[in-house]
Amino acid sequence: MKGKPSLALVRNDTLKATPGAVKAIIAAAKRLGIAILDEKDAARADALVALGGDGSMLSAVRAYASLDKPFLGVNIGSLGYLAATPLEGAEEAMRAWRDGETTLDERSMLRAQVRRGGNGRAGRPALALNDLVASREGTGRVVALDLSIDGCDIAQFRCDGLILSTPTGSTAYSLSAGGPILSPRAEAFVVNVICPHTLSSRPLVVPADSVVSVRVAAAEGPVAFCADGTVCGRMRRGDVFVATTAAAKVSLVALPDADPFEPLRCKLGLNYSTVRKR
């Protein structure tokens, strides 16, 4: 970095709700000789600080991924899987970043567009760091979704919906729906059905360059299309969304000797039993 290093605090909705945490970050940055920029000046910053929980991190990525800046997540929420640095450790994390002791953990994203009637007008592209979801909305009835991968028809599922999850998002909604945990560095993503009306459905792990198409074959109401928990549009019978791994990646600031499996053990309760010694 040339000149004085700078960080921008992003997502003002969270910042307004946590003035004490904001003051603590600004005071620590001042002690370290780091300039703190306003959100409107994010494009001029060397890195972006997302202050809050994982939702704040996802919101920040959605808003600023196009700037190609690294993100430092400071957790003041409950889980803190993506925003892994606790507030009390923020000053040390900023010092390590300033001194070049951190690394950049690159995470893949998914990109998708909805096409009306399958081949009709395409909606605005959606990017997701965690997952893309198509799920029934406003009705208790299941929907029928046709799944194809790389042009090959896989199956039609009568279900509540379907999740496409990145390796990062494999510990989020997909995990709750019985999906596998992927290493953040895996070159793959997960296709997972939500509450399928069958005993034989299983999650699929597909290569990162796969093209996945999900068509609404039948639905008695709208089907919500969501990216990282935010509704991006609604689908009806005949509509299709087509998804693949995005060309761009998100860079997360990782502290020295960071253990990517530590959050699984400490925050998600991952625990493998061992054979008792006699």
Least confident among 13-27, 84-98, 151-165: 13-27
pLDDT tens digits along 159-203: 999 999 999 999 999 999 999 999 999 999 999 999 999 888 899
Which residue type occupies 266?
C
The pLDDT assigned to 34 comes to 97
Helices (H), 86-172: 90-98
Q: Which residues are catalytic?
A: 54
CATH of 109-247, one of 3.40.1190.20, 2.60.200.30, 3.30.420.40, 3.90.380.10: 2.60.200.30
pTM for the predicted model, two decimal places? 0.89
Greater pLDDT, 256 or 60: 60
- DSSP-derived letter for residue 122 is B
The pLDDT assigned to 274 comes to 54
Q: Are strands 240-254 and 223-227 parallel, antiparallel or unpaired?
A: unpaired
Distance CA 94, CA 234 (A): 41
Distance CA 179, CA 129 (A): 17
Segments of the chain assigned to CATH 3.40.50.10330? 6-102+255-266
Q: Which fold has domain 6-102+255-266?
A: Rossmann fold (3.40.50)
pLDDT tens digits along 40-57: 999 999 999 998 888 889
CB atoms within 10 A of CB 22: 19
Segments of the chain assigned to CATH 2.60.200.30? 109-247
User: Is 168 in contact with 106 (CB distance < 8 Å)?
Assistant: no
Q: Evaluate if residue 19 carries a pLDDT over 80.
A: yes
- The percent helix, strand, coil of the chain (3-state, each to 5) is 25, 40, 40
The pLDDT assigned to 14 comes to 60
Q: Evaluate if residue 278 carries a pLDDT over 50.
A: no
